[in-house]
Chains A and B, each alone.
Chain A
Amino acid sequence: MRSRIFSSKYIRTISKGNAWIPAFLTLGFLLAFPVTGLVKLGSWQNMEYTVDQMGVLYNHLWKDGFVLAGMFVAAIAAFMNSVNGFIYLYSGKKTDFYHGLPLKRSEIFTEKTVTGLLYYLIPYVIMEFLAVCIGAARGFFSLNIVGMAVKMLLLHLIIYLVIYFSIVLIISVTGNMLMGILCLGGMYLYGIVLNLLLVAYGQSFWHTFFSEYQYGGFNTLLHSASPGTLILDMVSAYAEGKAGKLVAAVIILGIVLGVLAWIAYKKRPSESAGKSMVYPWVSTVVRFMVVVPGGLAVGWIFYPLTTGKIRILWWVFGMILGTVVMHGLLETIYQMSFQGFFAKKLQLVIAGAFVAVCALIYQKDLLHFESYIPKQEDIASVNLNMMSFDQDYYENVQKTKDGDYKITGANNWAEPAMAFTGKNGIGDQTYRALQDIVAGNPKSEAIDGDYTYYSSIKYTLKSGREIYRKYWIKTETLNSLVKGLYEEENLKEQKFGFLELDQKYLKNIGLNDASGNGYSIFQNDPDKIKQLLEAMKKDVNAATAEDFLQTPEVKIDFAYQFPGKQNVNNMMPGNTNADVQYAEWIVGIYPSFKNTLAVLKETGYPLTVEDLDIEKIMLSYFNDENGQQEDVTYENQEEIKALKEALTVRYNGYVDKDSEIYQNIYVSVYTDKGEAVNGYGLKTEKLPDFVKEKITELGITQSSMQMDAPAINEATGYIDDGENLTSQEIIGGADEPTSIYLESSSDSDSSETE
């Protein structure tokens, strides 16, 4: 019989009436390969790409465009063939017809699978061959292309089989169309929906929950718990030429699904047609998989509707409602009758118990998620979003084996290249600071401490495991952490890594003077640049962690330009010049950087407040008791001189000596170029007498809260690392005032100066 089901006569006979499938797929693959190829080649020609560029683009088409288009047709083919082959299981009449034939179940399974494969493969191979021929006719033919065509065929075959077997499995374990559709939807979406639910709960109940992007189990749920996401990830990795592990994972998934589908089909009783679920134990598992998250989800919908303690009651109400409704709906679908809504009460109670346990895990933090910190000896490195702590910007440049440069920006703070690593794991001071941060986090729902930052940390363990957390951080603990990072970790190397780069790639140095105006300096003067870099190197090496915690005198921007490869994403039609890539550093020049400051002095730009040629200073006295504000402008040189003594530039972040600044006086400084860009404050200890008199006159008092770091609660502002400095651009290039654009979400950082 085995030979009979593989004979051409047999396949032709049983394929009677199914010719529409290969015909439809031929049309699909015609569009996916030859038509796509013709459209792309024509479009490139019209855009006047060179032949070489077209070669690169055409090669990439076999890894990207064709793969994506073919994937959709392969998915449709898998759906049509699996449904066409096995949908008979939902009809008792059809089941009797097929299962009455003198064939073993396994033979029917094989026959359906093989004929489906033929319907898929024959049009595929013909159309792919046609696409190769079209490319060859345009002069793009090589063994490499043939190899890529074969690889693509295999890749699509894997995709086809995974989708095909997943649908066959679902049909084999369900008894009717409704359950089939629901279960198929569940198979492809369950991981994603569960991930959303867990993330939503994490965000609602845990202050330290990190949700900016997925990691660990959450990442697995999102990307690996659904055949769909796994396939999409594989296809996108294939385009980048690094699909190895994902291809292996998808092959394994295909094998597992194939074996499960085969077992489920073989063991499926013929009388199951029309039932909701074929195997009772599967329906029990599905019940808990749906009811427990369903109960939690409905509870979560009720949770934010109110505030305070009453929200817990509504949350519990929502969970009970959700559990009962989800259980009832599922049982109604199982029994195909609303009378089943309240059936299986014991299972309802057990599901309710599971919901309660899950709820307690979040609400009471039974797993100690909030207080968790890995053991010091287990930590290989930590990553911090430093951009939420100061206004510096730095990137990591690595030279790859093939001579290219790989640049990692500070925005990608969690990348391995941006990790802070000590000599053997992280140091004691860093770990103590981290422990203080963890211990200092809010213990209750209310955020009632004096927190300044809400920032993310990634722990990379020596085992390779990655753990992310987000912490509320106080200024003093942050200072301690940054100190540790400078002393024990490689923050100095990270921030000033550009000093080790070849000077030939340095294209521009921008200086922000004491007024905040930006200038390009030392243009066309490599000797001066070298001198500056050498001075900086010396200063950085000599600087202690304490030095880096001081308020910088000025900020310098170093713009580098590295050679890059042309690739399909940045190719300019007709332009064969090598591509470039940019890297940028914005760093502070601290008071201890004497050598650097000496070199910068030669530019003539004001480096300190004392150097500024101030025309007037406007002080806005704010009385927070009555909300009144009075602006007083000081133009007298004596007054300006006295004010200069107290004047200091304010930079956001740990370097800002907030506690030394008088809080209720806002300062505006005017030079001959207009209002200064920088933010300023007056040191409390050095307030001139006339300012003190004015304070007394206006009845302004400083509360203790104002004297310390700004108090943070839910209603007041804090620095969230989601709100980063996103770009800084220097326009112009003469040794003259130019334009600097600073873009930031923080209050006064978005400005333009001419």
Chain B
Amino acid sequence: MIEIKECSKSFGTLLAVNDVSMDIGEREVFGLIGNNGAGKSTLLRMAAGILKQDKGNIRIDDMEVYDNPAAKEKVFYISDECYFPANFTSRDIAAFYQVHYPKFEIQRFSKLMRQFQLDEKQKVSSFSKGMKKQLMMLLGISAGTKYLLCDETFDGLDPVVRQGVKSLLAAEIMGREFTPVLASHSLRELEDICDHVGLLYKGGILLSRELEDMKFHIHRIQCVLKDQKQEQELKRELDILKMEHQGSLILITARGTRTEIMTRIRGKNPLFCEVLPLSLEEIFISEMEVAGYEIQNIFF
């Protein structure tokens, strides 16, 4: 488990991460979402033991991570901007990581390279940005570490590879103790793979929830009620996040299980009532608006 407690980090006068606390559980895909400059990379670099936090602490499996090889052996960090030593081939860089990560599986790496149609003997400097990202992902998976920290994970990957990588991560979670932490500025990229999402904004964490939990507890219903009085009663009975009117049609976003919400509405004998699907982005928008943030300011 990665435990981040009251963690802050400044770069000069810029407060990059402000008093962030979160736990990243084992064998879940953790999505770290935030716009540019939200502090995702800084938080990941601290979790990888590259940066030292100014305040708070970060522990990996109960071990301080900074300057601690035992903890860092459990983490593989993939930077947004991948670096490879000059003149190294994929095989060389794999050998390099093999001497640093005791559980590195070189054969697995070769197999994955073949699967992703990358040439092990080719110099990495001749790879495209996407190929370098793929290579880093394959190295990260082959390293056999318990945690994989990826910054802007799918940036530069084509849709096919992106899907392949997601499948690979899923398969890895199934096969062994593995927890990928994926940072991205795009909610849509992560919604089909993440179990847990943390939202960073201006260095602080706005929310950190299980995705299923969020989806299970927020619903959007459109209905037509007989009179205004019933609408007022529903407002009292339901934990409504948002209520919009389109003529007589009422769009309600409310917290609670589907059954609870529908039972309440049907109890009012509506003329029409149905549950609409909610995207992760819409869930976030609703949550953010309740929290008082203008979501447009965060993502758009």
Contact = CB atoms under 8 A, between A and B. Distances in A.
Question: Are A and B physically bound partners?
Answer: yes
Interface of A: 1, 4, 9-10, 13-14, 16-17, 91, 93-97, 99-105, 107, 269-271
Nearest to A93: B83
Contact of A100 (B50, B95, B99): B50
Given A4-B99, A271-B11, A97 B69 contact: no
7 contacts: A16-B96, A96-B45, A100-B45, A101-B72, A102-B75, A103-B69, A270-B50
B184 to A, nearest CB: 18
Contact of A13 (B48, B70, B95): B95
B81 A93 contact: yes
Interface in B66-87: 67-70, 72-73, 75, 77, 79, 81-87
Most buried by B among A17, A93, A97, A102: A102
B51 interface: yes
B69 A1 contact: yes
B100 A101 contact: yes
A95 B50 CA distance: 8
Given A1-B69, A100-B49, A103-B69, 6 more contacts: A14-B96, A17-B86, A96-B79, A99-B50, A100-B45, A101-B100
B92 interface: yes
Contacts of A99: 49-50
A66 B81 CA distance: 47
A100 to B, nearest CB: 4
A13 B99 contact: yes
A269 B52 contact: yes
B101 interface: yes
A714 B49 CA distance: 71
A626 B68 CA distance: 95
A105 B51 CA distance: 12
A16 B48 CA distance: 25
Contacts of A100: 45, 48-50, 72, 77, 79
A10 B73 contact: no
Contact of B69 (A13, A16, A95, A107): A107
Of the listed residues B45, B68, B75, B84, the one surrounded by the most CB atoms of chain A closer than 10 A to its CB is: B45
A93 B79 contact: yes
A232 B257 CA distance: 82
B299 interface: no
Contacts of B49: 99-100
Contacts of B11: 271
Contacts of A269: 51-52
Nearest to A92: B81
Interface string B97-122: 01111000000000000000000000
B88 interface: yes
Main secondary structure of the interface of A (DSSP, over half): helix
B175 to A, nearest CB: 22
Contacts of B83: 91, 93-94, 96-97
A177 B87 CA distance: 22
Interface in B28-79: 45, 48-52, 67-70, 72-73, 75, 77, 79
Chain B contact residues: helix, strand, loop or mixed: loop
A4 B99 CA distance: 8
A104 B51 CA distance: 13
Contact of B96 (A13, A96, A102, A104): A13
Contacts of B72: 100-103
A100 B100 CA distance: 10
B252 to A, nearest CB: 47
Interface of B: 11, 45, 48-52, 67-70, 72-73, 75, 77, 79, 81-88, 92, 95-96, 98-101
B99 A16 contact: no
Contacts of B86: 17
The 3 A-B pairs of least Cβ separation, nearest first, read: A102-B72, A102-B73, A93-B83
A582 B116 CA distance: 87
Contacts of B79: 93, 96-97, 100
A91 B48 CA distance: 18
A373 B67 CA distance: 59
Contacts of B50: 95-96, 99-100, 270
B36 to A, nearest CB: 16
Contact of A17 (B48, B68, B73, B88): B88
B51 A271 contact: yes
Contact of B92 (A9, A16, A97, A105): A16
Contacts of A101: 72, 100
Contacts of B85: 16-17
B221 to A, nearest CB: 47
A525 B141 CA distance: 103
A102 B69 contact: yes
Contact of B99 (A9, A93, A271): A9
A94 B81 CA distance: 10
Nearest to A1: B69
Nearest to A91: B83
A16 B85 CA distance: 9
B99 A14 contact: yes
Of A9, A99, A100, A103, the most chain B CB neighbours within 10 A belong to A100
Nearest to B145: A102
A270 to B, nearest CB: 5
Contacts of A4: 99
Contacts of A105: 67
A642 B105 CA distance: 117
Nearest to B68: A104
B88 A102 contact: no
A262 to B, nearest CB: 14
A736 B105 CA distance: 101
A16 B70 CA distance: 25
A542 to B, nearest CB: 84
Contacts of B99: 4, 9-10, 13-14
A103 B87 CA distance: 23
A99 B65 CA distance: 12
Nearest to B77: A100
A103 B100 contact: yes
B67 A270 contact: no
B69 A104 contact: yes
A17 B95 contact: no
Name which of A10, A14, A94, A97 has the most chain B CB atoms within 10 A of its CB: A97
A310 B168 CA distance: 82
A94 B83 CA distance: 6
A4 B96 CA distance: 13
A271 B72 CA distance: 18
A102 B81 CA distance: 19
A16 B95 CA distance: 10
Contacts of A97: 79, 83-84
Nearest to A101: B100
Most buried by B among A93, A104, A271: A271
B88 to A, nearest CB: 6
A298 to B, nearest CB: 31
A10 B102 CA distance: 12
A1 B48 CA distance: 18
A109 B7 CA distance: 28
Contacts of A104: 67-69
A226 B270 CA distance: 90
B150 to A, nearest CB: 12
B56 to A, nearest CB: 16
